[in-house]
């Protein structure tokens, strides 16, 4: 054993690797789920409306950004001083994100079939983003409350 009580070896490396993997999964789960939501949103829109024109892509980007801005504006207007931020609220984030990703895809599919204009690109990205973010927040809140 090295000086200072430190240990070295494969066992320590595996423990460090597991910890690093756990941190990576937890810190990227929401972004990965959002990526899946937006990718499937684009796929549904392309399937229903065909290949997007350049303007459609700008509408798509605008829809996602508008949803972020509206949610942030809501927090600023009605959120008070800030609220608690759960720390590492859920260990199986990928499994739980299935609900949020699925709901985003379901909402997007509805919009893609209901809106028969270029506006579908704006609305679908807006609704997919808002649905995903709101449901992830619900999931994190519920699991965090359960852990207390």
Tens-digit pLDDT profile for residues 96-139: 688 999 999 999 999 999 999 999 999 999 999 999 999 988 88
Question: Which residues lie below 8 Å from residue 10, measured CB to CB, with a gap of 6+?
Answer: none
If you search the block for the tokens 């392309």, which residue do you land on?
46
126 contacts 147 by C-beta, under 8 angstroms? no
Tens-digit pLDDT profile for residues 17-63: 988 888 887 778 888 899 999 999 999 999 999 999 999 999 999 99
d(CA 39, CA 33): 10
Q: Where are the domains of the chain?
A: 28-147
């Amino acid at each position: 054993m090295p000086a200072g009580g430190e240990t070295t070896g494969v066992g320590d490396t595996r423990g460090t690797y597991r910890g690093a993997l756990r941190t990576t999964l937890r810190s990227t789960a929401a972004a990965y789920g959002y990526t899946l939501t937006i990718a499937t949103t684009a796929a549904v829109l392309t399937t229903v409306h065909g290949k997007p024109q350049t303007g459609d892509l700008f509408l798509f980007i605008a829809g996602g950004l508008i949803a972020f801005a509206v949610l942030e504006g809501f927090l600023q207007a009605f959120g008070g001083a800030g609220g608690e931020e759960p720390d590492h609220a859920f260990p199986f984030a990928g499994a739980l994100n299935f609900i949020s990703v699925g709901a985003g895809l379901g909402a997007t599919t509805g919009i893609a079939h209901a809106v028969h204009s270029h506006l579908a690109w704006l609305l679908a990205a807006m609704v997919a983003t808002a649905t995903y973010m709101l449901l992830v927040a619900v999931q994190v809140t519920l699991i965090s409350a359960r852990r207390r």
